[in-house]
Amino acid sequence: MISWTFPNQKVARARIDEAGAAARAALAQFDGAVLNALRETESALTLYVRHIEENDHLRQARDASLAAARLQQRLAAGGTVSSLERLDMERALAIAQGAVAASDATLASDRVRIFLALGGGWESAGIDGEIIQNSIVDKSLKRR
């Protein structure tokens, strides 16, 4: 007598469905990470544009302060303005130069933020020599 047993198709189909669901979940996680990176990139670029415009205005104000300080210097040499007025103009120029320097630092930070939002990162050695990769995309994937 020959006996034949067919494989349990329900279990096999359930495993196939499970694998398909896991693949769809991984794809959804990947899509979420990409959308998050795009959102962060757009936000970083918008902020960068705003800071560039602000930097341009600060540079114009600094240039105007510099022109005024030069004029004050010539007037002070001629005895037309007091030393106090000249010092006040130099203080205003120093404040304008400080604002431009702070704005330049903000632009540099914005460039790094854009680099990271676009998936850039860096590698550094941890305490035990393990390579640690730092990037926003890696961190967003680990959060899930």
By C-alpha distance, which of 131, 138, 142, 141 is closest to 116? 138
Render pLDDT for 67-117 as a digit per residue (tens, 0 to 9).
999 999 888 888 888 888 889 999 999 999 999 999 999 999 999 999 988
Whether residue 51 is contained in a domain is answered as yes
- Domain total in the chain: 1
Whether residue 1 is contained in a domain is answered as no
pLDDT at 4: 65
Whether residue 4 is contained in a domain is answered as no
| Beta-carbon-side half-sphere exposure of residue 94 (alpha carbons within 13 Å) | 6
The answer to whether 83 and 76 have CB atoms below 8 angstroms apart is yes
Whether residue 63 is contained in a domain is answered as yes
Q: Which residues contact 135 (CB under 8 A, 6 or more apart)?
A: 116, 119, 120, 121, 122
Is the pLDDT at 138 greater than 60, yes or no?
Answer: no
Range of the domain at 55: 14-120+136-140
Whether residue 9 is contained in a domain is answered as no
Whether residue 59 is contained in a domain is answered as yes
Whether residue 128 is contained in a domain is answered as no
Is the pLDDT at 143 greater than 60, yes or no?
Answer: no
Higher per-residue confidence, 136 vs 112: 112
E strands present in 5-143: 121-125, 131-135
Whether residue 125 is contained in a domain is answered as no
